[in-house]
């Protein structure tokens, strides 16, 4: 009898913890970090799109639609450590349902995840494949029945999707610098090397994002306050992209990128 009571209490506590976790997922703040061109937000339950603006909050089941030569960046935390860039002519649904963060219906997205919580996983659903990862960076391109996933930093895992919408059990790893293409309702394809130009483009995107964050943090203060408690942070800006680290002149763009890679 005592054992049954203990099991009963344990089940209640477990359900309560799961509920709290789910509620936290739903209330996690997601907002528009940047907008370029014609981007519309279609609120859940609405058929009318409104122009996206920087700082606008995005709620579960809201749709984001980008037009030609347009893009938007979603931030999944207040410091924009985890972002999702939605490229032109794309359609994305914010999920935040405790399992999926977002869903790509068509088009292309890039994720830069620099601070995923230890007990969390960033998962994205597409018509052909599910992508999941911790701290990493990757891109997804959906073209009809085919979806390609390339990993630009760290690693990610992909699973196929069954005809009934359920996720296949087998997971396929994609290491850094590699990609897989998956046909709808089939298992992920073989590993291939990602194009070198994409790697170069990604480096440029990381630099731009870090620079925009630093500029935002330093608004109203001296640029020399780019320093932190670490002794090897930049101390004095001498030119457009030149700073002093350990009494040596370095290019701030290369410094930020290399510093980030050293923490992988």
**3-class SS string, the chain:** CHHHHHHHHHHHHHHHHHHHHHHHHHHCCEEEEEEECCEEEECCCCCCEEECCCCCEECCCCEEEECCCCEEEEECCCCCCEEEEECCCCEEEECCCCCCCEEEEEEEEEEEECCCCCCCCEEEECCCEEEEECCEEEEEEEECCEEEEEEEECEEEEEEECCCCCECCCCEEEECCEEEEEECCCCCCCCEECCHHHHHHHHHHHHHHHHHHHHHHCCCCCHHHHCCCCCCCCCCECCCCEEEECCEEEEHHHHHHHHHHCCC
What integer pLDDT is reported at residue 214 of this predicted model?
Answer: 74
d(CA 262, CA 230): 14
Q: Are the beta carbons of 109 and 88 closer than 8 angstroms?
A: no
Rounded to two decimals, the pTM is 0.74
d(CA 114, CA 257): 12
Q: Are the beta carbons of 188 and 172 closer than 8 angstroms?
A: yes
What integer pLDDT is reported at residue 199 of this predicted model?
Answer: 82
pLDDT by 10s per residue, the chain, length 264: 544 444 444 444 444 444 444 434 444 689 999 999 999 999 999 999 999 999 999 999 999 999 999 999 999 999 999 999 999 999 999 999 999 999 999 999 999 999 999 899 999 999 999 999 999 999 999 999 999 999 999 999 999 999 999 999 999 999 999 999 999 999 999 999 998 888 888 888 888 887 787 777 765 344 444 344 344 434 444 444 555 555 566 565 565 555 655 555
Residue showing tokens 């090897």: 232
Domains and CATH numbers, the chain: 29-195 (2.60.120.1440), 197-261 (no CATH)
What integer pLDDT is reported at residue 216 of this predicted model?
Answer: 73
C-alpha to C-alpha distances, 177 to 128, 196, 233, nearest whole angstrom: 21, 9, 28
What integer pLDDT is reported at residue 240 of this predicted model?
Answer: 46
Nearest to 88 by CA among 64, 112, 111, 108: 108
d(CA 3, CA 100): 36
What integer pLDDT is reported at residue 167 of this predicted model?
Answer: 96
């Amino acid at each position: 009898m005592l054992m049954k009571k203990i099991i009963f209490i344990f089940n209640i506590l477990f359900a309560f913890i799961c509920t709290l976790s789910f509620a936290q997922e739903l209330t996690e703040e997601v907002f528009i970090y940047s907008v370029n061109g014609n981007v519309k937000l279609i609120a859940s339950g609405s058929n009318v799109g409104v122009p996206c603006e920087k700082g606008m909050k995005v709620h579960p089941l809201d749709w984001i639609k980008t037009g030609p030569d347009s893009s938007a960046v979603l931030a999944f935390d207040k410091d924009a450590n985890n972002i999702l860039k939605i490229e032109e002519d794309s359609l994305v649904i914010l999920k935040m349902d405790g399992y999926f963060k977002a869903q790509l219906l068509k088009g292309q997205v890039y994720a830069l995840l620099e601070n995923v919580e230890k007990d969390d996983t960033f998962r994205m659903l597409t018509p052909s494949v599910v992508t999941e990862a911790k701290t990493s960076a990757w891109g997804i391109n959906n073209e009809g029945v085919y979806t390609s996933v390339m990993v630009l930093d760290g690693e990610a895992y992909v699973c196929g999707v069954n005809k009934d919408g359920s996720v296949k059990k087998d997971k396929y790893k994609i290491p850094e610098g590699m990609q897989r293409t998956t046909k709808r309702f089939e298992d992920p394809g073989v590993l291939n090397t990602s194009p070198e130009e994409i790697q170069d483009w990604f480096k440029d995107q990381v630099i731009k994002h870090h620079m925009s964050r630093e500029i935002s943090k330093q608004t109203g203060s001296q640029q020399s306050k780019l320093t932190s408690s670490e002794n090897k942070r930049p101390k004095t800006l001498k030119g457009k992209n030149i700073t002093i680290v350990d009494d040596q002149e370095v290019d701030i763009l290369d410094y930020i990128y290399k510093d980030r890679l050293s923490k992988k």
